[in-house]
Structure 1
Amino acid sequence: MTKFADIKGFVFDLDGVITDTSVLHGNAWHQLANDLRVTWTKELADGLKGISRMDSLEMILKAGRIENNYTPAQKEALATKKNTNYVAEVDKMTPANILPGMQAFLDDLRAKGYKLSLASASKNAPRVLDKLGLTDYFPEIVDPASLTHGKPDPEIYTKGAQLLNLDPAQCIGLEDAAAGVQAINAAGETSLGIGDASELSAADMVFADTAQVTLANIQQHLD
């Protein structure tokens, strides 16, 4: 078992850990659904969580029974339009969108000399960090374009440790999703889950929300 003293770096997921962009994705899809005159429902909104852009689009088109009205090229254009909507939402973000306790945690990590990297599958992650005022905290960001496998494959977390020149055993990975926790574990890092303990039962430690994530609480779990 890893000891707290062995930990030298932290590899962060972005969404649900540092900020909540799922709301912004929801807003962007909602705008597109309105444009397509598809009725927006809670079921539809919930169904889109955690699935790819094209799968999300198909779900919206099916909800409106218009999935056969568009060619593949037109569907690509609609997906691009959604991304434009999303980027416009991101551009409204401010440091007020950082999740509770995370700014203090990042400040503490930086003050104590821990190395930090970002392991987000989002191509817009650098833009989000910029709006949150956190760019300087993450000199190392895994480029999603360089990955061949998505989570739960460990690749993104393995790269997150490599960017810090650390052994995975010296790193803690932070995630809010079960697939992410699996990826951290498979990479050989210590997994810290944020959210529902039953959903994230594979994690080495679970905190109910971001406000609980402090170095003192992590040390308590590890030692």
Structure 2
Amino acid sequence: MILNPQAIIFDLDGVITDTAHLHFLAWRQVAGEIGIAIDEAFNDSLKGISRGESLQRILRHGGKTGAFSPEACAQLAERKNGLYVHSLRQLTVNSVLPGIRELLMTLWEERIPVGLASVSLNAPAILQALDLSACFDFCANAALISRSKPDPEIFLAACSGLGVDPKQCIGIEDAQAGIDAINACGMLSVGIGTGLNGAGLQLPATEFLTWPCLSAFWQHDK
């Protein structure tokens, strides 16, 4: 008899809800204030990356690497976060991506622990706005780690918080850095969207992310 996975670990942005556009609007404003133009295609390269690293990528993109002191960079990152947090007021219970609320309810009924692995320090506020806080048994965020994705640390922190073996879990991501992080800690990886390499299971959108789908994937690989 094949047992269920010990836990399912979710990324937040692009899997539970789509705040990528809110991130983009905040970064675009901050970048514009220092004379750098970015578009949504460039913003895709920031998926799953920490705030500090995102800023460094923007500075490189604008030819301004080293132009700002660490203190100035910290101020820019904080300005972006302030804009982003303000925009989170737009989120409601209707901002959950298709199929996710139903999947979380099924996992609760199946008694499968659920974790969150998000580099966002705003994750608790986002889950609260979505009315999903009670659906997660443990939330790992940037406060618990020193290395961002694609390092596996955030997923390992989520597994540690749940008291489970990473090799007995499934991780779900929509960014390449996240898929790489999941694979690096020995979890089975599920990719949402297109253009992802190395995902054990790739689905076009969250509406296809169901418990029968995940269960079949788990049993096939075990």
Fold shared, TM-score > 0.5 on shorter chain: yes
Q: Note the alpha carbon deviations across 1:139-170, whole angstroms, 9 max, x for none.
A: 31114222132222222222222222222232
The amino acid that maps onto 1:173 is G
Say which of 206, 213, 216 aligns to 1:210: 206
Q: What is the DSSP-based 3-state SS (H/G/I as helix, E as strand, rest coil) of the residue aligned with 1:5?
A: coil
Aligned residue pair count: 219
- Where structure 1 has 5 or more consecutive residues not aligned to the other structure, the ranges are none
Corresponding residue for residue 178 of structure 1: 176
Distance 2:71 2:106 in 1: 48
The amino acid that maps onto 1:83 is N
Distance 2:160 2:11 in 1: 16
Could you say if the C-alpha distance between residues 89 and 170 of structure 1 is closer, same or farther in structure 2, counting changes exceeding 3 Å? Answer: same
Say which of 196, 208, 222 aligns to 1:199: 196
Distance 2:121 2:64 in 1: 29
Distance 1:113 1:30 in 2: 42
Say which of 126, 129, 137 aligns to 2:127: 129
Q: Are residue 19 (structure 1) and residue 17 (structure 2) matched? A: yes
Query: Bigger radius of gyration, 1 or 2?
Result: 1
Distance 2:78 2:148 in 1: 21
Contact 2:26–2:83 (CA under 8 A) maintained in structure 1? yes
The amino acid that maps onto 2:196 is E
- Where structure 2 has 5 or more consecutive residues not aligned to the other structure, the ranges are none
Distance 2:98 2:9 in 1: 18
Identity value in percent = 38
Distance 1:116 1:144 in 2: 18
Contact 2:189–2:199 (CA under 8 A) maintained in structure 1? yes
Distance 1:65 1:158 in 2: 35
Contact 1:117–1:138 (CA under 8 A) maintained in structure 2? yes
Distance 1:7 1:216 in 2: 13
Contact 2:140–2:157 (CA under 8 A) maintained in structure 1? yes
Corresponding residue for residue 5 of structure 2: 7
Say which of 26, 29, 32 aligns to 1:31: 29
- 1:45 Cα offset (Å): 4.5
Distance 1:63 1:154 in 2: 26
The alignment yields a C-alpha RMSD, in angstroms, of 2.8
